Amino acid sequence: MSIDGVDIQPIIGLEIHVQLATKSKLWCGCALEFGAEPNSRTCPVCLGLPGALPVLNQAAIEHSIRVGLALHCRIATRAKWDRKSYWYPDLPKNYQISQFDQPLCSDGHFEFKHADRIRKVRIRRAHLEEDAGKNDHENAAFSAIDLNRAGTPLLEIVTEPDFTGADETREFAVQLHRLVRYLGVSHANMQQGQMRFEPNINLRIRRGSETFVTPIVEVKNLNSFKSLHAAIEFEIDRQAREWRETGETLTRGNKRNRGWDDVKLMTLPQREKEESEDYRYFPDPDLAPYEPSPAWVSAVREDMPELPVPRTERFISEYKLPEQDAPALVDDRATADLLDEAAACGGDKATLGKQFLSFWSMHANARQTSIAGLALAPQRFAQLANLVVEGAVNATAAAQLSEALLSDDRDPREIAQERGWMQSRNADEIAAWVNAALAANPQAVADALGNPKKLQAARGFLTGQVMKISGGKADPKVTGELIQKALSGASAPNAAS
Amino acid sequence: MSQPTTSAKIDAARVAHVAKLARLSLSAAECERYAVQLTQILSYAERLRRAPTEGVSPLSNPNDVVNVTRTDEVAPSIGVAAALANAPQKHGSSFRVPAVLEGGA
Ligand SMILES: [Zn+2]
C-alpha cells in the first residue's frame, strides 16, 4: 500500500501452537481433560517433583510427523530434547522441555488459494514441546496455579515471514486449522485454546530511494481468527504511525512483545519478563533422542488421508461442484468421506454432489449437525441419487424422499411407490395425460402449430400442464416425446386446411 | 546453544539476582558463600571447555539409547490432595503463589 508517497509493505510470519489430541500428556500418563478439577490430572512428572522420569508419548511423535508430512517438511532422522529455562510457577520444573536445534520437522511449505491466487508459504520448522499449566490471577493478591495442562503436547509450527497482509494470514490460519483436524491430530478447539497464534509483524517502508524496516512486534497468544486478523491490521497501522513519529527502525534487540486487548481492539505493550529471552537451552539428560525410522515414516505417509486442498480440486471436477460450494462438503472430513463412500456404492457423482449441497445440507443444518451426522449409510445416498438419474422420481419427490429416509429404513424406491411419488414412463398412461392437456388448451396447441416464435413457449406450457394433470408423475423425457408426436400428428390436417 | 559465561567471576550481587529469579531467599552470608562455590564450579567447567573436542560430535544424552517411548495410554493421576501435599499455600484445589506475570511457554 502507498500513503503520502511512502510505500508500506508488511512482513508477517506466524507461529502456531497446536494442542495434539493424545489421550495422555507428553511425558506422563495423566489424562488430557479440559475443565477438570484443578490439579486432579497431575503426577510427579508433570508436577516437576525431584526424581521423576519423563517418558515420551509415541502418539505425540506420530501426530507431529503427520503434520510435518502434510506440510512437505523434512522429517528429522534424529531429534533431541532440550530444556528451555523458564521461571514461572505454571511450569514447576523451572524449564520447559522443547526442541531447540533438532526439530522433528523442518523446511516445508504449504500452498493455498487466496484471492484467486495460489499462495505458497514456507514452513521453517515444527517442533514438539510441552504446554505450561494455568495461572489464574483473578485475585490480585496472589496467583492460583492449576497444573492440569502442564505437560500437554503442543506442536509449534513456525512459518517464514511470507505473508504480506492480514487477510492472507487469516486464510492460512483457517486452512491450517482445517488441516490439523483433517489429519486427526488435534481437535483445534479455539474456545479451549487448542490452537493459538502469534504473528510477528513489521513493515518495510520505502520513501524515495530510502528503505526503512520497523522493529518486529510479536503479538502473543491470539486464540481466534478474528483477533489474529484484527491484531495484524492494528499493528500495521500502529507501526506506520510510530515510524512517522520516532523514525525507529529494526535493530538487534528491539523486537517487542505485545498483547491483544479484545475489548479495546488494540495491541498493548507487554511488561517484559526479566531476562525472558535468556532461555539457556541445554540438552535434557533425562530423555533419549528420537530417531524415526524411514520405514515407519513411510508407513505414516502411506496412511495419510487425502488433504483438503487437493480434495477440493477433485470434488470440483468429479462431483461437478461449483467452486465456491466445494469447501462446504470438504471442510468436514466425515462428510467428505461419506460423499466418496456414496459414490463408491455406485451413486451417480454429479447427482450426489447436487443432492449433498441441496437437501442433505438442509437436513443437516436443520438438525445442527453435518451430513455425516445424519448417520445414514452411504448406500442410502447412492440409492436416492440413482432413482433420480434413472428418472424414477423427479427432483421434488427426491427432496421429499430424503426427508423420509431419515426415519424410514426401507429402500427409497419402495417408499416412493407406496407414497405415489414414482414417475410414470408408461407411454399409454402418459399419452392419455398428453391428450387431456392438448384438449384442454386449444390456444397453446394453435400457438405451437401456427407460430414458430411461440412454439418453444407453448410446448413448455403444455409439458407443465401434463405434469399438473399427472401430479408430477409423468416422466419429462417421455412426455416431451409424446407432446412432439401429438403435435406433429395434429399438424397435417391443420396445414391442409 | 548458549555457552556458559565461564570467564565471568560470580559475585554476591549476581548470586542475589539469580536467587531472586529462582525465588530463593538467601542471606547475604549465603550469597557470599555461594559466590565462591559457583566460581569454583564454573572454573572447573572452564577447564572442561579447554578439552580437545575437535571431531567429536556433541553428546546430548549420557546413555547410548534412542526411541524410549510409551504408548498413549492414560495412567491414574495421584489426586488433588497428594498433588498439593507439599504446597506451602493452597487456594481451593490450586497452588497459591505470590502474584506473577502471565507465563509464556
Ligand atoms: Zn502427570
Tens of pLDDT, residues A385-394:
999 998 888 8
Across the interface, of A55, A221, A275, the residue whose CB is closest to B68 is: A55
CB pair distance less than 8 Å for A289 and B92: no
Q: What is the ipTM of this complex?
A: 0.80
Phi then psi for residue A292, to 5 deg, are -65, 130
pLDDT of A195 over the 70 cut: yes
Interchain contact, B61 vs A136, CB within 8 Å: no
* A115, part of any domain: yes
Mapping DSSP to helix (H, G, I), strand (E, B) and coil, where does residue B96 land? strand
What percent of chain A shows pLDDT beyond 70? 97
CB contact under 8 A, B99 and A137: yes
Asked if residue A149 lies in contact with residue A215, where contact means CB atoms within 8 angstroms, the answer is no
Position A271 scores a pLDDT of 67
Taking the C-alpha atoms of residue A328 and residue A178, their distance in angstroms, rounded to an integer, is 12
Confirm whether A449 is domain-assigned. Answer: yes
Burial code (b: 16+ CB inside 10 Å, e: under 16) for A385-422 equals bbbbeeebbbeebbbbbbebbeeeeeebbebbeeeebb
Contact A210, A189 (CB under 8 A): no
User: What residue of B is the nearest CA neighbor of A147?
Assistant: B94
Residues of chain B neighbouring A139 (CB-CB closer than 8 A): 91
Q: Determine the straight-line distance between the first and last CA of chain A, rounded to whole angstroms.
A: 77
Q: Does B67 touch chain A (CB under 8 A)?
A: yes
| B93·A89 Cβ contact <8 A | no
On whether residue A152 sits in a domain, the answer given is yes
pLDDT at A379: 96
CA of A103 to the centre of ligand 1 (A): 24
Q: Tell me if chain B has a CB within 8 Å of the CB of A186.
A: no
Q: Is B76 on the interface with A (CB under 8 A)?
A: yes
Residue numbers in B near A136 (CB within 8 A): 94
Is the confidence at residue B92, as pLDDT, over 80? yes
Instruction: Determine the pLDDT at residue B20.
Output: 87
Q: Are residues A431 and A415 in the same domain?
A: no
Give me the mean pLDDT over the B69-83 stretch.
97
Q: Which residue has the cell 495423566?
A: A30
SS3 per-residue string spanning chain A:
CEECCEEEEEEEEEEEEEECCCCECCCCCCECCCCCCCCCCCCCCCCCCCCCCCCEEHHHHHHHHHHHHHCCCEECCCECCEEEECCCCCCCCCEEEECCCCCCEEEEEEEEEECCEEEEEEEEEEEEEECCCEEECCCCCEEEEECCCCCCEEEEEEECCCECCHHHHHHHHHHHHHHHHHCCCCCCCCCCCCEEEEEEEEEEEEECCEEEECCCEEEECECCHHHHHHHHHHHHHHHHHHHHHHCCCCCCCCCEEEEEECCCCEEEECCCCCCCCCCCCEECCCCCCECCCHHHHHHHHHCCCCCHHHHHHHHHHHCCCCCCCHHHHHCCHHHHHHHHHHHHCCCCHHHHHHHHHHHHHHHHHHCCCCCHHHCCCHHHHHHHHHHHHCCCCCHHHHHHHHHHHCCCCCCHHHHHHHHCCCCECCHHHHHHHHHHHHHHCHHHHHHHHHCHHHHHHHHHHHHHHHHHHHCCCECHHHHHHHHHHHHHHHHHHHHHC
Tell me the chain B residues in contact with residue A135 when contact means C-beta distances shorter than 8 Å: 100, 102-103
Of A31, A96, A130, the CB nearest to B74: A31
Structural contact between residues A378 and A411, judged by C-beta atoms closer than 8 angstroms = no
Higher pLDDT, A477 or A232: A232
The pLDDT-based confidence of A58 (bands split at 50, 70, 90) is very high
Distance A386 CA to ligand 1 centre (A): 54
Say if residue A124's pLDDT is above 90. Answer: yes
Between B53 and A230, name the one with better pLDDT.
A230
CA A134/CA A142 separation, integer angstroms: 13
Residue A389 lies in a domain: yes
Q: Please give the residue range of the domain that contains residue A329.
A: 306-419
A400 touches chain B (CB under 8 A): no
How many distinct structural domains can be found in chain A? 3
Phi first, then psi, for residue B13 (nearest 5°) are: -65, -40
Q: Are A245 and A128 in a shared domain?
A: yes
Q: Which of A13-27, A236-250, A411-425, B72-86 is the least confident region?
A: A411-425
Q: B29 to chain A nearest CA, in Å? A: 24
Residue A316 inside a domain? The answer is yes
Kindly state whether residues A326 and A398 are assigned to the same domain: yes
Q: What is the CATH number of the domain that holds A459?
A: 1.10.10.410
Is residue A301 assigned to a domain? no
Residue A497 has pLDDT above 60, yes or no: no
CA of A24 to the centre of ligand 1 (A): 8
Q: Is residue A300 part of a domain?
A: no
Interval between CA A38 and ligand 1 midpoint (Å): 13
Q: Are A324 and A458 part of one and the same domain?
A: no
Q: Note whether A338 and A277 are same-domain residues.
A: no
pLDDT in tens, A239-269: 999 999 999 999 887 888 999 999 999 999 9
State the sign of the Cα–Cα–Cα–Cα dihedral B12, B15, B21, B27: negative
β-bridge pairing A56-57 and A2-3: unpaired
The distance from CA B2 to its chain's CA centroid, rounded to whole angstroms, is 15
What is the predicted pLDDT for the residue at A21? Answer: 97
Contacts of A416 (CB under 8 A, 6+ apart): A387, A392, A393, A397, A401, A422
Query: Could B98 and A143 be called an inter-chain contact, meaning their C-beta atoms sit closer than 8 Å?
Result: yes
Domain end point (choices A233, A263, A295): A295
Domain shared by A198 and A56, yes or no: yes
Mean pLDDT of A378-389: 96
Among A295, A315, A349, residue at a domain's last position: A295
Say which residue, A350 or A1, is predicted with more confidence: A350
Is B80 within 8 Å of chain A by CB?
yes
A-chain CB neighbours of B80 within 8 Å are 37-40
Residues of A in contact with B23 (CB under 8 A): 87
Residues A257 and A143 in one domain: yes
A275 CA from centroid of ligand 1 (Å): 29
What the block records as the C-alpha cell of A479 is: 412426455
β-strand partners of A100: none
Shared domain check, A346 and A252: no
Count chain A–chain B contacts defined by CB atoms under 8 A: 160
Q: Which residue has the cell 556433541?
A: B58
pLDDT at A491: 54
Mean pLDDT of A10-39: 97
| Whole-number pLDDT of residue A493 | 44
Q: With an 8 Å Cβ cutoff, is A147 touching chain B? A: yes
The confidence score (pLDDT) of residue A15 equals 98
pLDDT at position A273:
54
Are the beta carbons of A24 and B94 separated by less than 8 Å?
no
Q: d(Cα A374, Cα A334) in Å, to the nearest integer?
A: 11
A232 domain residue, yes or no: yes
Residue in A closest to B24 by C-alpha: A87
Higher pLDDT, A114 or B59: A114
Which residues from chain B sit within 8 angstroms of residue A58, using beta carbons? 69-72
Quick check: A29 and B70 CB within 8 A?
A: yes
Residues of chain B with C-beta less than 8 angstroms from the C-beta of A142: 89, 91, 96-99
Are A354 and A240 found together in one domain? no
DSSP, collapsed to helix, strand or coil, labels residue B19 as: helix
For each of the domains in chain B, give its residue range(s) and CATH number, in order of start: 12-49 (1.10.20)
Cβ–Cβ contacts within 10 Å for residue A76, how many?
A: 22
Closest Cα in chain A, distance from residue B97 (Å): 5
Count CB neighbours of A167 within 10 A.
Answer: 14
Determine the distance in angstroms separating the CA of B32 from the nearest CA of chain A, rounded to an integer: 23
Q: Which of A256, A273, A295 represents a domain boundary (last residue)?
A: A295
- Tens-place pLDDT, residues A184-193: 999 999 999 9
**Cα of B28 to nearest chain A Cα, Å:** 22
* Shared domain check, A438 and A404: no
Same domain, A350 and A395: yes
Query: Is B78's CB within 8 Å of A131's CB?
Result: no
Asked if A21 and A144 sit in the same domain, the reply is: yes
